[in-house]
Every structure is written in C-alpha cells, then in structure tokens.
Amino acid sequence: MNWKNIKLIFIKELVGTVRDKRTIIAMIIIPLIFYPILFMGIGYFNQMGNEKSEEAISKIIITGAEFSPPLLKYFQNNPKIEILSMQNNPLLKLQKGEIQLILIVPSDFKDRIEEGESGPLILKYDATETKSRIAQKRINQAIAEYEKEIISQRLSMMHLKEEFIRPLILQTENVASPQKVTGSLLGVLLPYLIVILIFVGAMHTAVDITAGEKERGTITTLLVSQINRLEIVLGKCFAVMLISFISMVLGLIGLTLAFLSGTSIMGGIEGVEFGISFSTIFLLFLVLLPLVGLASAVLIMVGIFARNIKEASSYITPIYMLTIFLGVISISQGIELSGKMFLVPVLNSSFVFKEILMGKIYWSHIITTFSANMVIATLALLGATRLFTKEEVLFRS
C-alpha cells in the first residue's frame, strides 16, 4: 500500500468536492447562515408570541361571585384580569376562546370559610390555549394570596404564629459546578446533533465521488491507473471523513451562534459557563474519529454498490433514518446503556459523548465504543474495496 497514491486520490477528491457549488452551500452557507437564521427566527417569533400573550388581558367569568366578596377584590386589584358579567353558555365561549377562564364559587363558600372549613372552588380553563393557561396562572396567584390571608386570620384568632403550620425550613444547595451544569445541558442534545451532522456532511460527498463518478463515466480513469483499489477506496474515504468533520464543526458553530443569541429558540443561555478542558476535547475526538470513519466507510460502500446517484440516495435513506432513530434514543432521559449495548454503532457514541460532556469518564465504555466502531468501519472499507474490484458492480446498468 502506497501512501503517496492515497494522498493523491485524497487531494484529487478534495479539490473536486470543494469546486462543487453544492458542497459550498451544504458545508458553509447552510451551517453558518441558514442554521442561525432559522433558530433565531423561530426563537424571535416564539418570544414575541409569549410576550403578546403575557400582555393580553385575561377575560374571565365568575359564577357565584356574590358568595365571596373578599376573593373578588383580589381579582379586581389585578389589572391583567377583566371580570365579565354572567352570560349564557359560558362554557361554549371558553371553548371558542372568547373568554379564557370560568371560576365557579359555591353558594356555601362564604359560610364554610367563616366556620373555619375549606371552601371548594371550581376552575375551568383550556389547557391547549396559551392565553387560557396564563389566565389560570393569574387566578391561581390571586387565590393563593387570598388563602394566605385566611390562614393568617385563623392563626391570629388562635394566637398562633405562622411557624406553627410550617415547622420545617428546607434549604437546598446545588453542589454541581457551572462546568458540570453546562455539560449536563450540552449532553442532552449535542450528541444527537453531532451524529446527525456527521452523516449529513458525509452523504453528498460520498455519493458524488462514487455513484456520481460511475454515472458520469469518469471512474474508468481511476481504474486504468496503477493505483490499486484499496488505495483508491482509502483516498476517497479520507476525503469524505475530512468533509464530514468540517461540516460537523461548522454546523455546531452555526447552532452555537443561534443558541447563544438572546432571541434563540431556547431564549438564550444565561448564567452558564462555557468551557471544555483539553482532556475532554481529546476524549471527544477519540470517540468522534472512528464514528466519522464508520459513517464515511459505510456511505462509500453504498455509493460503490449503487448504479447511480438516485439509487444510492434510495439506499442511504433508510441508513439515515436508522441513524436518527439511534440518535433520538440518546436524548431520552433516564436511559443508560450497559454491557453489550456499547457495541451498537452510533448509539454507543451518542451515550459516550453524553457521559464525557457530563464529566463521567468510563474507560470501559470509551474503549468498547472506539474498538467496535473501528472494527465496523474497517469491515465496511474492506467491503467497499471488494466491491470496487468487481467490474460487474462498477459497470452494471
């Protein structure tokens, strides 16, 4: 095996890929421009909608308001609450969104409160409507204030202090460092994004330099050269790996710009210290390298087997869907891998990424994941090389 030949193929594929306008769009324009605009746009309109809902007046109807004048005063003191007069079929108006809430006060409410008993209240709202949920929150706050006043009056009548009904004072302290909190936040979504970005970055290039060359007829130039088939496959695979890695990095940069902005879909990330140690970066790279190689090798093999770009795309689609499925599992809270599950490609990398970001270093998991992905990537490369030696595969129509 001659590394000069591999380097020659690598540079040749890299230059050809960079010259393709579609690659520039996929690698630079979409990650660095489209991603931030998309997420900031969603975040802006989401934030604008929430602010509009918070500023809106909550229109409510109270049935039996005359049975609790003190409670009514708490509602009237809130400028965001508008009490409408009793109307026909208020439940239908609530369902249509004409009002946001209905509060029913029983006729014996006042008597029960004065006798030291509990007074039932019935609150009806539409949980699917933002304005109705906000109205429910405002009413609950007013009721809580009224309840606090009643408790204070009852304790005063019994010559008791408020501490009598609150014998315990619980103080909680979060001992997690800001770095660990950051790792916990990143560990939820980042592993999934990394996996998706790796495959997305590799797909176009892998298909174009394999099935695309077969379709254009330029692959025969390589086949008549003195470079053996393994060197050709390795050169192509390394080119796809580099393109995939760069695409992933640029994608993460674009998403970071979106998430860090004040108008992002997450509302900005405040009070969190961003900083990853060199050892963490090294471990992430250790897990990342075989995953990039695995994705590139599998896609190269599929591209060589396919007759043309269209057929290659149809083969890659289920692989991509399976990748998304395995990545989604890593997002699920409370799920942990153990034992042989770390032999499953993509799934193992996602969970190891999460562990590393959260500061949990399990060398057995890292070594198992690294080894499993390297073995599968090697097998895929050997499979691609074997297919590349078969002319019935390369020239079938």
Average pLDDT of 219-235?
82
- Answer yes or no: are the C-beta atoms of 353 and 276 closer than 8 Å: no
- Would you tell me the crossing angle of helices 347-357 and 178-208 to the nearest 10 degrees? 150
Task: For 15-84, give the DSSP string.
Answer: HHHHH-HHHHIIIIIIIIIIHHHHHHHHHHHHHHHHHHHHHS-EEEEEETGGG-HHHHHHHHT-TTEEEE
**Does 383 or 3 have the greater pLDDT score?**
383
- Paired with 82 in beta bridges are 59
**What's the pLDDT at 276?**
64
Six token digits for residue 269: 């990330």
Chain-wide mean pLDDT for the chain? Answer: 83
Evaluate if residue 271 carries a pLDDT over 70.
Answer: no
Which range, 274-278, 302-306, 353-357, has the best average confidence (pLDDT)? Answer: 302-306
- The predicted-structure confidence for 171-207, as pLDDT tens digits, reads as follows 988 887 776 777 777 777 778 888 888 888 888 888 8
- The predicted-structure confidence for 236-263, as pLDDT tens digits, reads as follows 899 999 988 888 888 888 777 766 665 4
**What's the pLDDT at 333?**
65
- The predicted-structure confidence for 107-139, as pLDDT tens digits, reads as follows 889 889 888 888 899 999 999 998 899 999 999
Tokens 């390394």, located at residue: 238
**What's the pLDDT at 141?**
93
Share of residues in the chain with pLDDT > 90 (%) = 19
Q: Which domains does the chain have, with CATH numbers?
A: 3-41+178-394 (no CATH), 53-164 (3.40.1710.10)
- The predicted-structure confidence for 12-42, as pLDDT tens digits, reads as follows 888 888 787 777 777 777 777 887 787 777 7
